[in-house]
Structure 1
Amino acid sequence: MSRRILVLSAGLSQPSSTRLLADRIAQAVAAQIGGRGESAEIEVVELKDLAVDLATAMSAGGISTPKLARVKETISAADGIIAVTPVFTASYSGLFKMFFDVLDTEALNGMPVIIAATAGTARHSLVLDHALRPLFTYLRAVVVPTGVFAATEDFGDGEAGASLAGRIRRAASEFAALAVAEQTGVDGFVQTETHARKRTSGVHIDQAVTPFMTMLQGHTGNGKAR
């Protein structure tokens, strides 16, 4: 069976250390899933390519462009996500946050996720547990215990580089265990997950959306209708 793994890279430069880290994690995940007798289908989404679409959605009440809608459908159908962001002002980038702001709140239910970040110095490593992990916990994703942080020095061949490689392998192993897990309980003895929340992309809307300014028409702003 092939597992669909989506890589989200919020790097802005070219070449990008964020994309480099994302690719290394993806390769490790593919190897770990392969070691469990399955294959991994890796798809990479560069969030910088969605910048205009994200701005449009944010200013249009969350209505997605066709390009953004396709990505949203892809993410809710994935078997796992690798999410990597550069650190800006002690947190994830604005582009990274915009993407998750426009996702349906049910898009990541039970989704295995590796969180990772890059920065110029190791002083920013706490961003994993103070910013990224709470974000994905709120979205009800299953974040693997090992986050992957890489400072500039970690991309070398020395001790720092070896430490980064170890963190990547450990996170990939934890992720693969979740991505290929199968329910082995016998009906009647183990509670099945019939009540688990389903993932939804939020792309298909059953009813028309009323623009906010239209809703405000006829009101003076003091709580009374004109």
Structure 2
Amino acid sequence: MDAIYRSQRHIYDLTRRYYLLGRDRLIRRLAPPPGGTVLEVGCGTARNLIVAARRWPETRFYGFDISDAMLETARANVAKAGLSGRIVLARGDAAAFDTQALFGVAAFDRVFLSYTLSMIPDWRGAIEAAARALAPGGVLHIVDFGQQEGLPGLFRAALFAWLRRFDVTPRDRLAQAVRVAAGMVGGEMRFTRLYRGYAWAVDLRRH
């Protein structure tokens, strides 16, 4: 990841705003309880955490990423936004993390993954780990590339070819994997196609 993002991190937010669709919808849907906790798995530059922290000022935010280069940028962005006291960052692996060890927090009211699963080799493991990090009544929110099922075939082929250049693979079994995780932790799943299938959004609410 550091090899990929060592230079891209400087222009990441400027370029990704045009095609990582559905991120702000996810943030609006977080609606954490007052004084609650929110975790982003694969926080990248902390763009999402900063937007969410400004929207939900009574909430504590946490994020981790496997890329040291991205975390360097994330910490600088959080400090520049004046949110170092409300956003805690750490280095961790999405498929195998211990939030108690990373943050001293055992479970979270909200956990989210935004355009990360398409880059994680063990993406099913990441979903299951995120589901286990939920407190009772907590919600896991996911948004990522869909299968472009409502868009022209040429667009789909061109987009997938372009994404492969960056080791990005849209997960066609995303809903099934979240359903399995819901069964593991005791919860229910909701699946939504966005922008004619350009993006897929999945929520898992733990009972």
TM-score band by shorter chain is 0.3 to 0.5
Q: Which has the higher contact order (CA 8 A, sep 6+)?
A: 1
Larger Rg: 1
Higher strand proportion (structure 1 or 2) = 2
